[in-house]
Structure 1
Amino acid sequence: MGAKIAVLAGSIRKGSFNGRLAALGAERLRAHGADVTEIDLRDYDLPIYCQDTEAEAFPAAALALKDVLRAQHGLLVATPEHNGSISSLLKNAIDWASRPTDGETAVALSAYRGKVAAIMSASIGPFGGLRALIQLRQTLGTVQLLLLPEQVAVPFADRAFDADGRLVEPLPATLLDQMAQRLVRTAEALRG
């Protein structure tokens, strides 16, 4: 069995460009031998993170998401760019999965520590979500994920995909495939 890699998009909008990009990423990961878990954040009814909520009763959906991430060797994340940063939906999910459970210390970060991640974005703007990728790289590094230096930014996303959901331009498609291959190899190496 190949490395276990979760794929998620920081958007739940129907027809989301980052949802399409995440689906392509999952396909490429499978082609390189990964055991892929596709995470749809619609399936997790996460309240906005609040320490009071956490103290009263850790949300079952947050624990379920954390458990899925804990079982992985790597993570591939596609983020939209919202006002120069990642979506609040994605940040909230990252925050909840970072919280200690089951007697863990505050720095356990069991959903993330010792794992590898790759990041990508699709945006209707000319920079392909680069500002969001900078923020996502910082956030995921803070929760102790090892991030690949490669990233994929797809500009003009409203015309970047064909009717079948494939990338029209060969360059981002090639970069996505190379990044997926590196992610699988690195996750395999880290799992020992």
Structure 2
Amino acid sequence: MTDSENNKDIEILAFAGSLRKGSYNKAVLRASKDLAPKSMHITIFDLAGIPLYNADVEAQGNPKQVTEFKEAIRKADGLLIATPEYNHGVPAVTKNAVDWASRPTQNAPLNEKPVGILGASPGMTGSARGQSQLRQAFEFTNSYCMPQPEILVFRAHQKFDDDGNLTDEATRKYLGKYLEALYNWVNKFIEE
């Protein structure tokens, strides 16, 4: 029996650091919903509509989509972020979401929030460098980023079908193990 069968339900907010409709990272989050432990409920938030972070805009009040995003993070027990890798780093869409969620620093939604990171890429490194940069950002936001296991979905174009379904059985199995580990990680930070 797994830990998730013995513990309470947890809520995970997931988002992909890509705006592309056919994003492999969005697809891996959809697969995560299907492969998550029974006690883990994943809600996917679409980052489309979130403007670039600008302190002048923030001073006038958060845009509606930003307010919804921050509230969704606050309500969740933990986060699951699927990030692509662009030019050996974390893409602007992912970093921008983190920047908005880190504000204001004294009451940031990311403060003390447990986080899991994964990524999918057609390349051979499966977003490893993007994930590494994202982990650095979470040091400053005081978020609890799960150190292990890592999941790097490389050659993603060979692991998803034309409809965005994860068809590679080895990846599906490993993603299930990753999600079980994330469930256990998030539970460490939930107050009884």
Structure 2 residue aligned with 1:103: none
Counterpart selection for 1:24 from 16, 22, 31:
31
Structure 1 residue aligned with 2:168: 168
Residue-pair matches, total: 182
Residues 15-94 of structure 1 mapped to structure 2, 5 A cutoff? 15-29=22-36, 31-42=37-48, 45-94=49-98
Q: TM-score, normalised by structure 2?
A: 0.87
Residues 101-116 of structure 1 mapped to structure 2, 5 A cutoff? 106-109=105-108, 111-116=109-114
Q: Percent identity?
A: 31
Counterpart selection for 1:8 from 8, 15, 22:
15
Q: Secondary structure at the match of 1:118?
A: strand
CA RMSD of aligned residues (A): 1.7
Q: TM-score, normalised by structure 1?
A: 0.87
User: Is the 8 Å Cα contact of residues 7 and 25 (structure 1) preserved in structure 2?
Assistant: no
Structure 2 residue aligned with 1:190: 189
Q: Distance in 2 between matches of 1:32 and 1:116?
A: 19
1:145 correspondence with 2:112: no
Q: Distance in 2 between matches of 1:57 and 1:7?
A: 24
Encode CA deviations 1:129-149: one digit per residue, 9 max, x unaligned: 111111111122321111112
1:125 correspondence with 2:123: yes
User: Is the 8 Å Cα contact of residues 63 and 97 (structure 1) preserved in structure 2?
Assistant: no
Q: Distance in 2 between matches of 1:39 and 1:124?
A: 23
Q: Which runs of 4+ in 1 moved over 3 A?
A: none
User: Is the 8 Å Cα contact of residues 35 and 172 (structure 2) preserved in structure 1?
Assistant: no
